[in-house]
Amino acid sequence: MPPVTLCVKEVLTSVPLEAESISPDLFADRSREEIEALPVAFGNEARRLGDFFRVDGERSEEIEVEGSIERVKWVGSGMTRGRIVIHGDVGMHAGSYMRGGEILVEGNASDFLGVEMEGGLIRVKGNAGHRAGAAYRGSKYGMRGGIILVEGNVGHEVGAYMRRGLIVIKGNAEDFLGARMVAGTICLFGRAGLRTGGGMQKGTIVCMHPVELLPTFAYDCTYAPVFLRILVKGLKRLGVQATPEQASGLYRRHHGDLADVGKGEILIAA
C-alpha cells in the first residue's frame, strides 16, 4: 500500500498539538475519513487530526509527514509496527513507549525522543533534545530495547536510567550521558559533556573521544573488546561508518560508578 501522507494545513501556533494518533497501528486499517477523525488534543481542546493535517491515502502502515511539526507531540508513541517518515522536525515525545517499527526524522527531534521505548528503530538525521531514550520522571527504567540513532548532537541526560537497547550518537552529547544507566549500550562518536555515566549501575558507554570522568570511575586496562567489532559491524547496516581503529583498536576501560553498583563500563578510544 502507498503511504498515508500528512501535510500541515497551517502553521501551528505556540499551543502544542498532542497527536499520539499519528501511528501506523491506527492508520493501518482506517480509511482516509477515519484517519481524519482520529482524536488529537490542541491545548485543552479535543479536536480531529483532519483539522490540522490534509490526509492523502488510507490503510497503510507507512506514514509520511510533509514539513516540520516541531509543535506536534507524541508522534509514533507506543507504535508496534510500520514506518513513519517526517520530512522535517518533530516535537517532543516522538517514539516514546515505542515497541516496534521505525521512525525516520529528517530534521531535528525535540526532547524525550524514544523515552521508555521497548523496541524498533528511531533515526534522526539532525539533532535530538534532552532525555532521549531516558525514563520519564518517576519511572524506574528508561529505554528497554530498540535502537535510537542520532546523526547530530543530543542534549542532557540522554539514556538516563536506560535498561536495555542501543543509543548511537554521531555528534556530541551534553551532560549526564547515560546517568543512572542500568544496562544497555550507548555509543558516542562525538564529545561528551560533564558527568558521563554518573550513577550508572551496569551498561556500556563507548566514547570515541577523550572524556573527563567522575572520580568514581576506576581505570582497568587498555584492550580491544571483541564485542565492539560486532557492534561496529552492525552499525554499518544502519549506515554508520566507523574507522577500522574504532572497530578493532584499543580502548581504555573504566568501571563505575563506584558510588553505586559500579558494574558499568566506559570504554574510551585510546
Distance of alpha carbon 7 from the chain centroid: 24
Which is nearest to 39 in space by CA: 18, 24, 16? Answer: 18
How far lies 53's CA from each of 5, 29, 96, 187, 261, in Å?
9, 19, 22, 36, 49
- Do residues 36 and 49 make contact, with C-beta atoms less than 8 angstroms apart? yes
At its nearest, how many Å lie between another protein and the CB of residue 120? Answer: 8
**Choice from 238, 259, 261, 270 touching another protein (CB under 8 A):** 238
* Cβ proximity of 47 and 66 under 8 Å: no
C-beta of 12 vs 104, nearer to another protein:
104
84 part of the interface to another protein, by CB under 8 A:
no
Interface residues for another protein in 170-209 (CB under 8 A)?
A: 183, 185, 202, 204
Residue from 230, 259, 261, 270 in contact with another protein (CB under 8 A): 230
Question: Is residue 164 at the binding interface for another protein, with CB under 8 A as the rule?
Answer: yes
In this chain, which stretch among 69-77, 170-178, 205-213, 226-234 interacts with another protein, using CB under 8 A? 226-234
| Position among 95, 146, 178, 198 found at the interface with another protein (CB under 8 A) | 146
> What mask, x for binding another protein by CB under 8 A, covers residues 85 to 124?
-----------------x----------------x-x---
- Considering the complex, what minimum distance in angstroms separates the CB of residue 159 from another protein? 15
Say if residue 56 is preceded by a cis peptide, omega within 30 of 0. Answer: no
Binding of residue 247 to another protein (CB under 8 A):
yes
Of 50-58, 70-78, 104-112, 220-228: span binding another protein (CB under 8 A):
220-228
Residue span binding another protein (CB under 8 A) among the ranges 30-38, 63-71, 86-94, 164-172: 164-172
Residue whose CB is less far from another protein, 13 or 241: 241
Candidates 155, 265, 268, 269; binder of another protein (CB under 8 A) is 265
Residues in touch with another protein (CB under 8 A): 102, 119, 121, 145-147, 164-166, 183, 185, 202, 204, 223-227, 229-231, 233-235, 237-238, 247-248, 263, 265
